[in-house]
């Protein structure tokens, strides 16, 4: 909280009468029988601890979605997509593609943490590791989250239970989407890939803010549908262009993934205190 007279100072006292906030630089002090009293500069009433701040306002989802669509976001999305698109280069293609996917996964989680910390805009470049092994670990983190999020469908499909066909498959995919955001948040909160394999953490995240989490799941699911639709249109419109077609599609996909990460980060910011992340 900011002092009313010194905007750069933190207000640590609040008037018990007029409720104005004051910092140590501007309070009045009175020595009464050897005891130092702090008084309001405006009305001379005693000062106390500031009232606890309420939770942050509900996230502005439209503003969160717009975050990546800036010059910085476009540059980052373009650079990452370029590495992935150069996968055809003889001798270095696989390494370039690995570096691109590692940077994408690292930046995705970095956006969640950055927005969760209350940062404006987008974070700086992500550190995906400087060795192939480190990059591979980062990519595996992303794949692990995807596998965990689609586990109900994968178990059903790999077991050969095709009864029900597409409706059952869709229902199982939707079931996975109900806890996938919690998986992503658990990874950020724990700072470990193993957070994706810790159902207790997912349950605690959901239980702390069930109504808000339900809204997040709905918006997250819509973002996946939008991602699939926009990617399909982009592929049909530009995917056939030699050399640069896959690059253009990759840039669009990256921007959409950045927006999705910002949505998850907005939820984390809203409930940072609940999760001990503040």
Whole-angstrom distance, CA of residue 113 vs CA of residue 121:
12
Whole-angstrom distance, CA of residue 32 vs CA of residue 20:
23
The domain segmentation of the chain, as residue ranges, is: 13-48, 61-270
Each residue of 33-88: pLDDT tens digit? 556 667 766 666 676 654 444 556 677 889 999 999 999 999 999 999 999 999 88
Q: Which residues contact 117 (CB under 8 A, 6 or more apart)?
A: 269, 272, 277
Q: Which residues contact 208 (CB under 8 A, 6 or more apart)?
A: 271, 274, 275
Element (H, E) at 31: strand 28-32
* Residue/partner pairs of 160-165 with CB below 8 Å, 24 or more apart: none
Which backbone phi and psi does 262 adopt, to 5 degrees?
Answer: -65, -35
Each residue of 214-248: pLDDT tens digit? 999 999 999 999 999 999 999 999 988 988 999 99
Rounded average pLDDT over 179-190: 95
Please state the pTM of the whole predicted model: 0.78
- Asked if 28 contacts 48 with a C-beta cutoff of 8 angstroms, the reply is no
- Asked if 235 contacts 249 with a C-beta cutoff of 8 angstroms, the reply is yes
């Amino acid at each position: 909280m900011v002092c009313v007279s010194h905007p750069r100072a933190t207000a640590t006292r609040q008037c018990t009468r007029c409720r104005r906030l004051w910092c140590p630089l501007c309070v009045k002090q009175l020595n009464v029988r050897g005891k130092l009293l702090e008084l309001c500069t405006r009305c001379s009433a005693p000062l106390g601890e500031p009232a606890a701040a309420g939770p942050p306002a509900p996230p502005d989802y439209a503003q969160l979605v717009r975050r990546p669509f800036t010059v910085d976001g476009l540059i980052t999305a373009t650079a990452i997509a370029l590495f992935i698109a150069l996968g055809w280069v003889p001798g270095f293609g696989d390494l370039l593609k690995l570096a691109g996917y590692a940077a994408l996964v690292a930046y995705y989680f970095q956006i969640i943490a950055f927005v969760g910390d209350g940062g404006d805009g987008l974070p700086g470049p992500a550190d995906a590791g400087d060795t192939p092994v480190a990059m591979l670990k980062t990519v595996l983190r992303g794949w692990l989250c995807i596998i965990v999020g689609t586990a109900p469908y994968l178990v059903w499909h790999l077991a050969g239970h095709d009864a029900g066909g597409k409706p059952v498959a869709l229902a199982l995919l939707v079931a996975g989407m109900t806890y996938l955001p919690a998986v992503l948040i658990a990874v950020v909160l724990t700072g470990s890939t193993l957070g994706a394999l810790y159902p207790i953490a997912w349950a605690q995240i959901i239980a702390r803010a069930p109504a808000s989490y339900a809204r997040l799941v709905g918006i997250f699911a819509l973002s996946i549908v939008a991602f699939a639709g926009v990617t399909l249109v982009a592929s049909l419109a530009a995917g056939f262009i030699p050399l640069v077609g896959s690059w253009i599609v990759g840039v669009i996909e990256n921007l959409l993934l950045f927006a999705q990460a910002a949505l998850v980060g907005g939820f984390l910011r809203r409930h940072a205190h609940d999760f001990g992340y503040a």
